[in-house]
Structure 1
């Protein structure tokens, strides 16, 4: 029986980079080594495993099926090792990084402007942010915590309520000539919405007392709420967005409330984390701070509170 030794970190790192780029040249550039060094590590790895990980086609390298499977496994292992290393380095020192998955518009318009206050209180902690717009498995990602918008449902994780929100219709004043009195008047314009909330306009019109909407309406969808705001600011139509996502600069540039009705959103913002990470010092600090910020913000804007 042939003994298979665990590959070296140098070989695994070279393979992961080469597999991700499907290029020895780009892998060498990323790792600041020579292309021949990458090629040598891959050769030793293939020889050790007795498996071809790449097919060489002219100037390109293409992953084989075993190579693609192994690259996914290696990438997950390296990510877990990196996360564990960060965690042990931060343990007991009061220092460390917090890996946060966040909604992009929420980060831009709400969280990032408040972070100076967090860093003033906790100068030894740094928050690294990545974008995630849907629930995911913490076991398969490097994140410690997430900000979630939606129902209080997330597999194998703890959710803590932050605050609700109100949706408002916005548009350029020179597009609509001033606030519209009747909800039906909005149907004469292109209705802008976030594709993450496809039913928002229907819900708004129902709340406004419009029992029957036309079968076909002129609408345009955008993935991010910030895109809806910018589209309304550009005069593309009337957008339906959370009011606190509209920056002060947009109001100053001629954006107005297109109709006085504001709609409490069905869903809320939550802090989400795996129960086993609750005692991590960076998470404890961030959790305490963001709950303070959320409570003050909800009180100031009289936002919808959690219902039981």
Structure 2
């Protein structure tokens, strides 16, 4: 439900407030918005009258927003940015809308991207825009309507669709070992590569194999792709998700460091804020993902 009209200021007054907050003066705001300085002042005055709150600290030599006005301007900036993005999406795809999806780079590149063509074929009116992230972020501060999340249900304020467990394999360059190792504990004698966002993966892997391993050290990477390349070039042993490890093994760039079945260290989810739950593009994407997952074997 939309708030009463008296609480909904005009776009032009919000633009004036945002520009003054960002640029620090009415003259700079006027130049930025291609208006006169008096027009900026009128917009701010009208906004103050509508809100019944002082937004400008008039005892200052230089135009400065009050603390309340500055906070209001920051909120307005987020709203104006989201409105502009919505307008861009509408013009780009007036028939079916679009979905801004934030993805984990390795999952998006190696699992989602090869299958996304099927979604596009089934829903030609919906555009999927991809952006990458490493850690949970605030949906309110960005443009993403949904995201791929790995780990546990520890992202607050979102709804979850479980996708699949993350199965991992220890891999290394073909010439890194003279022969695959026979015991999990043997890996402790070699350099292990770590992912910055999940630095305890090796500890979890060893614990599942009943091997005591704490505070393991080694090279640290912010992306699975960078860690994969490090393993390919013989810098150590990496724990990679099966969809990434198996493709590298098939290509001959990596091999198993130790024989054995992959183990699960977490789960992939699709997450979204509740206020986007009924977005048509997101509903169609969720339904498509459910159908895709139903055909997979984990």
Which band: TM-score by shorter chain? 0.7 to 0.9
Q: 2:80 aligns with which of 78, 82, 85?
A: 78
Deviates more, 1:8-17 or 1:252-261: 8-17
CA deviation after TM superposition for structure 1 residue 172, in Å: 0.5
- Cα separation, 2, equivalents of 1:107 and 1:159: 18
SS in 1 for 2:258: strand
CA deviation after TM superposition for structure 1 residue 44, in Å: 5.0
- Cα separation, 2, equivalents of 1:265 and 1:152: 16
SS in 1 for 2:83: helix
Unaligned segments of structure 1, at least 5 residues: 29-34, 53-62, 304-308
CA offsets per residue over residues 222-269 of structure 1, 9 Å max, x none?
122222211111211111121212373564243111112344324211
SS in 2 for 1:98: strand
Q: What's the TM-score, normalizing by structure 1?
A: 0.72
Deviates more, 1:193-202 or 1:127-136: 127-136
Structure 1 pair 51/113, CA: closer, same or farther in 2 (3 Å)?
same
Structure 1 pair 266/182, CA: closer, same or farther in 2 (3 Å)?
closer
Tell whether 2:239 aligns with 1:257: no
1:206 aligned partner: 207
Q: Quick check: 2:194–2:227 contact (8 Å CA) kept in 1?
A: yes
Structure 1 pair 207/130, CA: closer, same or farther in 2 (3 Å)?
same
Structure 1 pair 87/252, CA: closer, same or farther in 2 (3 Å)?
closer
CA offsets per residue over residues 76-128 of structure 1, 9 Å max, x none?
1213323665788899x751111112212211111122211111111111011
CA deviation after TM superposition for structure 1 residue 130, in Å: 2.2
Alignment of 1:49-128 (within 5 A): 51=56, 69=71, 72-82=74-84, 85=87, 95-128=96-129
Alignment of 1:190-205 (within 5 A): 190-205=191-206
CA offsets per residue over residues 44-102 of structure 1, 9 Å max, x none?
546746848xxxxxxxxxx99889646522321213323665788899x7511111122
Deviates more, 1:244-253 or 1:181-190: 244-253
Tell whether 2:11 aligns with 1:12: no
Q: Quick check: 2:205–2:265 contact (8 Å CA) kept in 1?
A: no
Structure 1 pair 90/227, CA: closer, same or farther in 2 (3 Å)?
closer
- Cα separation, 2, equivalents of 1:181 and 1:43: 79
Q: What's the TM-score, normalizing by structure 2?
A: 0.74
Structure 1 pair 132/284, CA: closer, same or farther in 2 (3 Å)?
same
Q: Quick check: 2:103–2:147 contact (8 Å CA) kept in 1?
A: yes
2:61 aligned partner: none
Structure 1 pair 14/228, CA: closer, same or farther in 2 (3 Å)?
farther
Q: Quick check: 1:105–1:226 contact (8 Å CA) kept in 2?
A: yes
CA deviation after TM superposition for structure 1 residue 183, in Å: 2.2
SS in 1 for 2:155: coil
Q: How many residues get paired?
A: 279
CA deviation after TM superposition for structure 1 residue 171, in Å: 0.6
1:144 aligned partner: 145
Q: Quick check: 2:176–2:234 contact (8 Å CA) kept in 1?
A: yes
Q: Quick check: 1:149–1:268 contact (8 Å CA) kept in 2?
A: yes
SS in 2 for 1:236: coil
- Cα separation, 2, equivalents of 1:196 and 1:287: 26
Instruction: Supply the RMSD in Å over aligned alpha carbons.
Output: 4.2
- Cα separation, 2, equivalents of 1:38 and 1:199: 50
- Cα separation, 2, equivalents of 1:258 and 1:223: 22
Q: Quick check: 1:86–1:96 contact (8 Å CA) kept in 2?
A: no
2:243 aligned partner: 244
- Cα separation, 1, equivalents of 2:35 and 2:18: 10
